[in-house]
Chains A and B, each alone.
Chain A
Amino acid sequence: MEKSEILSRVKEVVGQVLSMDVSEITDEANFIFDLGADSMQSVELVAGFEEEFDVELDQDKALEVQTINDAANFVAEYV
């Protein structure tokens, strides 16, 4: 799968979980600092990525991911 496709699907998941317009989400956006994700939403995001890409992510490492870009790279390791 192309990195650009992963990135765009990651943004869609983030948009859904955080109830945001995808256009507001930049590649460098930090989940907490820029997007305001709280701890519950962070867990929901990881579950959302697993469902979207049909993979099982390492939970601890997934929760350490800070930005949209990092999330796309992390997911790419599994797909």
Chain B
Amino acid sequence: MSLGLVEDRLVFEKSRAGRRGVTLPASDAGEAPLESLLPGGALRNAPPALPELSELEVVRHYTRLSGKNFGIDTTFYPLGSCTMKYNPRVHEYGASLPGFARVHPLQPDETVQGFLALAHSLERALAEITGLAAATLNPSAGAHGELTGVLMVRAYHHDRSEPGRDTVLIPDSAHGTNPATVTIAGMQVQSVKSGPDGRVDLGDLREKLGTLGGRVAAMMITNPSTLGLFEIRIGEIARLLHEKGALLYMDGANMNALLGIARPGDFGVDVMHLNLHKTFTQPHGGGGPGAGPVAVGEKLVPFLPVPRIVQEGGAYRRREDFPKTIGRVRSFQGNPGVFVRAYAYIRSHGGEGLRKVTEAAVLNANYILARLRDAYDLAYPGPCMHEAVFSARRQVKQNGVRALDIAKRLIDLGFHPPTIYFPLIVPESLMIEPTETEPKETLDAFVAAMLTIAGEAAEEPQKVKDAPVTMPVTRLDEVRAVKQPRLRWRPR
């Protein structure tokens, strides 16, 4: 990032009445007054106050704005749970081909055989990777996949005349989306404790299953957990749930740790979502788009959302005539542009290669764990899977340097901060996920920065608390943003 590129004005503040960035051909269909074509009462009174700029000004404005951002292309992003791996450029090339980018979602099936073949192959690949029977690509993002999965669980129990199964068990280390999803699916959340080793407390699970009995619809579990730990007793957990007629839902946010290493279907998972933008590398684009396919075992196949892509006589078709489907979860068929990129990643690696992806991701995480364990408190003993979770409690106790301060100081040293204050059960947590695409030299530089900060926290804590000082802005007044909300620009 170069400060010379920093832009402070809003696009509206550069606007000059009468400027244009785009001109369009004159009408070749006459100039009939709009009042004669549209009902007079429906016409707009005042035009929207959009900015008016030349193309150069627009290009320069947004180019300069980009200079105020970190991105994977410029900076290491060790964001735990977010899996910020490299986004290969061939994916962008593929997604921009007219046969993918300029296809209308309601074109007849026979005109979109390429796209449907790709989507069908991706569904098959995801079923293979997860060890489950089928997959839907329709959900828009991970949380949307969760909702789709939980709605299928609900439909399954209703179909078996067990509508009383209205409760979903969720470990206390789970992502916030899990409980939020259960609520909007019309069910209740019951929290399950983590044991001292950071894994699900089986005693608590047995107790909850005992008390709730036939009310448990499913357990939503993240494996590896948000603590970066493989749930060693996952087979036992699945057995306990299945004995009680409940299903096992897996949050696949951390699937990057399991490619070719273990298949959720093989350890008893009935349904799971995958975050294509994490494991299968979709550019995060400053927060979206993503895609959240859901893979299911045989018993949930009838409930998959529509449309479904089926292969019939050598051709692919979209079909909606499935009587037990949960219905449509959005317009059309998911985010196909994301499918192109995800499938390209899978094909770039092949089966052996995917296992090597996971091996490298886990090797990188354990390397960071090993290099930082003396300077920072480890939340739980290793080895970890794809991410290492530390706590800044030592630094807090010592000089009041918090995880937040460490995160901000990392920005000054040229790294995006790790995920902080999550999972909630680790105080002052620093959750570091390096991913497989980072070379050792980058990890070494990051470790050096973290060790520098640990030293500063002990010797010159104010330096850490005042960070960052090298960015276009220093720390923000977030209270003011809530108490005096300004949610849009207005002319002064």
B partners with A: no
**Partner-B contacts on A (CB < 8 A):** none
